[in-house]
Amino acid sequence: MKLPEPLFAVINPVMRFLLRSPLHVLLSRSLMLITFTGRKSGRQFTTPVRYVRIGTTVRCFTSAENLWWRNLRGGADVVLRIEGRDRPYRAAVVVDDPVVIKAALRDYLALFPQDAAYHDIRLRKDKRPVADDLERASQHAIVVEATPITG
């Protein structure tokens, strides 16, 4: 079920609070906070997003309609709060190839089928995405990957 967009004005602050609290253990295995600096405003923003780990890389998805990811074009230093700890990362919008996005989105939805609605993807009874929907979504999905900053 896709939540109405205006509801996120309430949900996101609650999620930020919970993910920074000792209660983070209830959510932080699949949700993180990404803190970044606005390119034009210079202000810091923190948004909750679902994530997956691929080795040391952290990957998240969003829709092109959302605006926050634009601050990461070309790469940006960010802080990811994962499992109750803040760590520095270098994040970028790394994938603009619909074929790669489609495969990554398919893998992501296998883990989090409840997120299909946010990409306008219908699921079949076996929870696999409808092929045409996945194809269309791969044209609009944004893949953000972050790698740890070491040293």
* pLDDT tens by residue, 22-81: 999 999 999 999 999 999 999 999 999 999 999 999 999 988 888 899 999 899 999 999
pLDDT in tens, 81-129: 999 999 999 999 867 788 889 999 999 999 999 999 989 999 999 999 9
The CATH number of whichever domain residue 41 belongs to comes to 2.30.110.10
Q: Which domain holds residue 142?
A: 5-148
Give the chain's domain count: 1
Residue 108, Cβ density class (10 Å: 0-12 exposed, 13-18 middle, ≥19 buried): buried
- Cβ-based neighbours of 131, under 8 Å, separated by 6 or more: none
pTM over 0.95: no
Best CA proximity match to 10, nearest among 53, 48, 61: 48
